A and B are shown apart, each in its own frame.
Chain A
Amino acid sequence: MKVLVTVKRVIDYNVKVRVKSDNTDVDLANVKMALNPFCEIAVEEAVRLKEKGNATEIVVVSIGPKVCQEQIRTSLALGADRGVLIETDAAPESLSVAKLLAKVVEEEKPDLIIMGKQAIDTDNNQTGQMLAALLDMPQGTFASEVKVEDNSVSVTREVDGGLQTVALNLPAIVTTDLRLNEPRYASLPNIMKAKRKPLAVKTPADLGVEVKEHTKVLKVVPPAERQAGIKVASVDELVDKLKNEAKVV
């Protein structure tokens, strides 16, 4: 079984991003970048499927500027077999990302596609579902457990009230939630080996996809700051404040 995994280069999750003073965007200059945490989980899940004998080949795809090769190399060091970069300096919207990925899927014909549920920069939570719709494939979003069977995959999903399990015909798309697995660290020998793994570079034009704009960001501002609060010295004082000052109990 061939598995395709998508990985996005995003701000490191520990960094608190700041808005640019001209309110056009957030400031990513000199900010630490990393593999989107959910995509890291997606790579790990694919590698585990390979270790279990379910998967035979893992292809990772990223869309973005040249530096995204770093995140592809990281994924290769974690155990993926080869990489594809769709190089573009435009930051394509989810729908365009899904259209580009759909072309890659048509070429690669994977049996299973594993993606992050959400990129922690745009917080969109939509690309996997969009790709599934474009390919008319079933989807198992927010997965906390994935079991591959003969011609289907069973996915346990984290939903508002608890957990839901669905069975999907292959090929299918799975998007990862945090509890699906805990990604490993890449070992030094694997990092070295990853440098020699194949990485193909293509452009949106090569794939015949026109990257269109469907939305326009008019402004980016910082969120409303909370008024600094106070420290209370005791439970008595806390109860008094809640009852008589905040009047919330």
Chain B
Amino acid sequence: MTILVIAEHDNSSLKGATLNAVTAATQMGDELHLLVAGSNCGAAAEAAAQVAGVSKVLVADAAAYEHQLAENVSKLIVELADNYSHIVAPATTNGKNYMPRVAALLDVAQLSDITAVESADTFQRPIYAGNAIATVQSLDSVKVITVRGTAFDAAAAEGGSATVEALDSEQDAGNSRFVSEEMAKSDRPELTAADVVISGGRGMGNGENFAMLETLADKLGAAVGASRAAVDAGFVPNDMQVGQTGKIVAPNLYIAVGISGAIQHLAGMKDSKIIVAINKDEEAPIFSVADYGLVADLFEAVPELEQKI
């Protein structure tokens, strides 16, 4: 069985989520191909060829794929589908955008956000904000799957020596157009891949106060996240939201500051190894998942923690 994994990349480099998807894919079959669809994406393709366990890299380098528009990328993937038993992508916003189109065009189901591979056709995935885990068997001939990155280790980015094959197909549906993007810039590690994550909630009071968390984050090499309430209140940008409908994180250490612990927030972080909660309300539900809970005013506790850690 040969598996096609769709690479997540920014044309110049491969994104970490690809490596987790590769690990999931190796549990489904024996041969692995990676598709790099982009524009001027030679560097990303070279990186893809280094990934351990990958035997072939397919490169579709064309203007229509520059921004991963789902209308175009899905058609490209469908063109290749005949050769594969499984088509796998990371459950990033890109993967979530184009993969269901691929499934529908192939007339098969999509298994979203899988967290375990039981066999080539049976997978686990969380439902109801992670309050239940379903074991689901696919009855389709081709399995279309998105992978929750935090549930699988990253494959080695180096050590592979895949052959690289250029595809000359350019699928342009012609009905959608990229206009602009506004990407948040940060020198800190990526939220979904960081070893330590410090998140702030409504209790932070305002955006300026997040500077406190950033100082602590810099000391710990941590990424900074947020609850939806903090994002909604405009304290921080949307891409920092952790939760059922935001990013899923599972770092070694998660520090929740001024976050109450709603079901939807827990869904995004409760698989973290160690959870610390700082909240002034000792009844806050976040304490039910915290390994170490500190009932305190965050405006005193966080600066003190930053000094003493």
Chain A residues in contact with chain B, CB under 8 A?
A: 11, 13-14, 16-19, 26, 93-95, 98, 117-118, 120-134, 136-139, 141-142, 144, 154, 157-169, 172, 177-179, 213-223, 226-232, 234-236, 238-239, 241-242, 246, 248-249
Contacts and interface: CB of A to CB of B under 8 A. Distances in A.
B130 interface: yes
Among A120, A161, A169, max chain B CB count under 10 A is at A161
Contact of B132 (A172, A222, A246): A222
Interface residues of B, number: 88
Interface in B84-99: 92-94, 96-99
7 contacts: A14-B263, A26-B128, A120-B244, A133-B102, A167-B176, A222-B132, A229-B287
A198 B135 CA distance: 40
B101 interface: yes
A121 B270 contact: no
What are the nearest 3 A-B pairs in CB distance?
A126-B100, A214-B109, A129-B100
Among A141, A172, A235, max chain B CB count under 10 A is at A235
Given A93-B109, A215-B136, A165 B179 contact: yes
A209 B253 CA distance: 49
A164 B178 contact: yes
Contact of B176 (A168, A229, A234): A168
A159 B133 contact: no
A230 B133 CA distance: 27
Given A122-B127, A248-B274, A249-B253, A159 B69 contact: no
Among A134, A144, A215, max chain B CB count under 10 A is at A215
Contacts of B295: 231
A179 B238 contact: yes
B253 A223 contact: no
A16 to B, nearest CB: 6
B187 interface: no
Given A138-B173, A162-B184, 18 more contacts: A94-B110, A95-B107, A123-B112, A129-B96, A141-B93, A158-B239, A160-B92, A162-B182, A166-B177, A168-B177, A214-B108, A220-B134, A226-B275, A231-B294, A231-B295, A236-B308, A246-B274, A246-B292
Contacts of A226: 270, 275, 289, 291
A223 B132 contact: yes
Given A168-B175, A179-B238, A242-B274, A98 B109 contact: no
B263 to A, nearest CB: 6
B293 interface: yes
B105 A133 contact: yes
B176 to A, nearest CB: 4
A138 B113 CA distance: 23
A167 to B, nearest CB: 5
B12 interface: no
B70 interface: yes
A189 to B, nearest CB: 30
Interface in B106-146: 107-113, 122, 126-140
B131 A139 contact: no
Contacts of A169: 175-176
A222 B134 CA distance: 9
Contacts of A118: 245
B70 to A, nearest CB: 6
Contacts of A159: 93-94, 181, 239
B56 interface: no
A124 to B, nearest CB: 5
A235 B301 contact: yes
Given A138-B173, A164-B178, A222-B131, A215 B137 contact: yes
B252 A248 contact: yes
A214 B103 CA distance: 11
A144 B309 CA distance: 39
